[in-house]
Every structure is written in structure tokens, then in C-alpha cells.
Amino acid sequence: FLYFIGRRIMGVLGVLQTRTVELVVASCVGYWVLALFAVVLRRYSKTFQRVAGYGRALDLHRPSESPLPKVFEPSVSKAAAFHAFYALGSVICAVAFCGSAMMQDRNAQLGPAVWMMFLHFQRRLWESLALQTMTGFTSPFAAMAGLSFYVYTPVSVLAASNMAGTKAATGWRWTGATYCFAAGQVGQMWAHIALECWKQRNGGLHRPLPHNELPFAISKVLHYRCEVLTYCGIALAVPGAEWLLLIPLFSWANLAVTAREAREWELRAVKESKTA
């Protein structure tokens, strides 16, 4: 009798867990759709560009030309924001690893996509702390939006991996995932090292990047393209979860707008340095 009751309880818990995962997946899909809409607003709305963009330190004594409160103007250190992004993503992955290790169910074991994501977050955290010298500021709104990305990205991959269970990506899918992830990681680190060397030689990004030096001869935004490639690899590593491609799609759209804004900011910096 106790065995029968136990089986019934476990069955109900299994159904509840499945329903919970399905709700999490639906929430994640909704988030990525809204995030893509926010990128469109950032591209075409001047007000939203001011809220979500980058800039210099906030001057509390300067009268604002915008009807928005000054709390939405650039006032958060970019370096601190990026440290928080990668640390948060790493912590979520670490908690998932601990939870998986405590469970005996094979379906609870995490797939390679979660490990890829954890390695990516750890590498970027190390780069932001030890390699990159970030300047400038971002708005509190943009910082919170960035934090939400590093919450929903691991949650999306964890939910998709849970639904996949013990299934693993094979054939062309696994080959593509490993090549995309490896190329993205190596290429992005190469680009970041080259950018830091250029900054040190020229005292910042006050001069245009050279067209005849690698990796800038390939692309001036190679680090952005490699970021998208990395998330493509992570998405492909989870079988039957094509909706995860919303992550690299959002990354591509967001980084395309970011590259445009960064370029405009660099051009303004070059012009100001010439007139100074």
C-alpha cells in the first residue's frame, strides 16, 4: 500500500515538474520576443536610445534636456555592470551544477550546453577583471536589462536541457555546436586582446581601428560576431530546442545596434580630441 501511494505521489510530482518546466520555457520565449522588440525601440526611438545607451559620467548639476529622470541617464560604471553580468550568469550555472549533483535521476543531469555556457561566462568574467579596461557609463535601466539577459540565458538553456532529458546532440548538430563554440571563444579572446593592445598603444579608442591589421582586417566588430557564434553553438548543443536560437538572434540584433552606437561614440571622441 505504501509503495502504491509513493508511486502515485512521485507521478504527481513528475507531472508538476513537467508543467513547471513548460511554464518556464513559455516565460523564456516571451522574454526573448519582448527583448527583440526592445532592440527595435532602441534602434528607432530617440527616447529609448537615451535610456538604454552609453555615455560619460552623469553631471548632476547640468540641467537635463530630456523629460526623463536623471536616474535613466548614464550613471552606472560599465566595468561594474559587466562584472555583475558574468558573475550572475556563473552563479546561476554553479547553483544548477550543485542541484544536479545532489539528484540521482539521470534526467536531472546537465547537458554539455550548460557547461559551454558556464565556461563562456567564466572566461568573460576573467577578461573583464584582468584583461579589459572598460570606460564609460551606462544607465541603471540598461544595467538591469543586461542583468535580465544573464538570468534568462542560463534559465533558458537549463529548461531546454531538462526537457531534452538524456538525449544528446549528435551528427551535424553536435559538430556544428562544437565548432561554433570553439571558434567563438578563440576568436573573441583574440579580438579582445588585440583591442586592449590597440588601446594601450594609442591611449584609448580615440583613433579609428586599422584596416590592415589582424583581426581588424577581418572585422572591426569580430568580438561581437564571435559572441553570436558562441550562443549559436550553445543553442545547437541542445537537441530539439530550436527556440533557443532566439538567444543568438537577440544577441545579433542587440550587438548590431551596440556596434553602431559605439562607432558613433568613438567618432565623437575623435572629434572632441581634435578640437581640444
13 has pLDDT over 50: no
DSSP E strands in the chain: the ranges are 54-55, 76-77, 137-138
Burial 220-246 (b: 16+ CB within 10 A, else e): bbbbbbbbbbbbbbbbbbbbebeebeb
Among 262, 256, 236, 246, residue whose Cα is nearest residue 29:
246
How many residues belong to the chain? Answer: 276
Q: 254 is written with which cell numbers?
A: 542587440
Q: Record the cell numbers describing residue 206, joined without a space.
A: 580615440
Which residues on adjacent β-strands are paired with residue 137? Answer: 55, 77
2 has pLDDT over 60: no
- Contact at 8 Å (CB) between 131 and 199? no
- Give me the pLDDT at residue 105, please: 55
Query: How is 177-237 classified by DSSP, letter by letter?
Result: HHHHHHHHHHHHHHHHHHHHHHHHHHTSS-SPPPSSSTTTTT-TTHHHHHHHHHHHHHHHT
Give the tens place of pLDDT for each residue, 194-244: 888 888 887 666 666 777 778 888 888 889 999 999 999 999 999 988 999
pLDDT of residue 181: 97
- The greatest distance separating any two alpha carbons of the chain, rounded to the nearest whole angstrom, comes to 86
- 134 confidence band (pLDDT: 50, 70, 90): confident
- pLDDT tens per residue, range 148-162: 999 999 999 988 988
Q: Is the pTM value of this prediction over 0.95?
A: no
**pLDDT over 60 (residue 58):** no
Name 55's bridge partners.
137
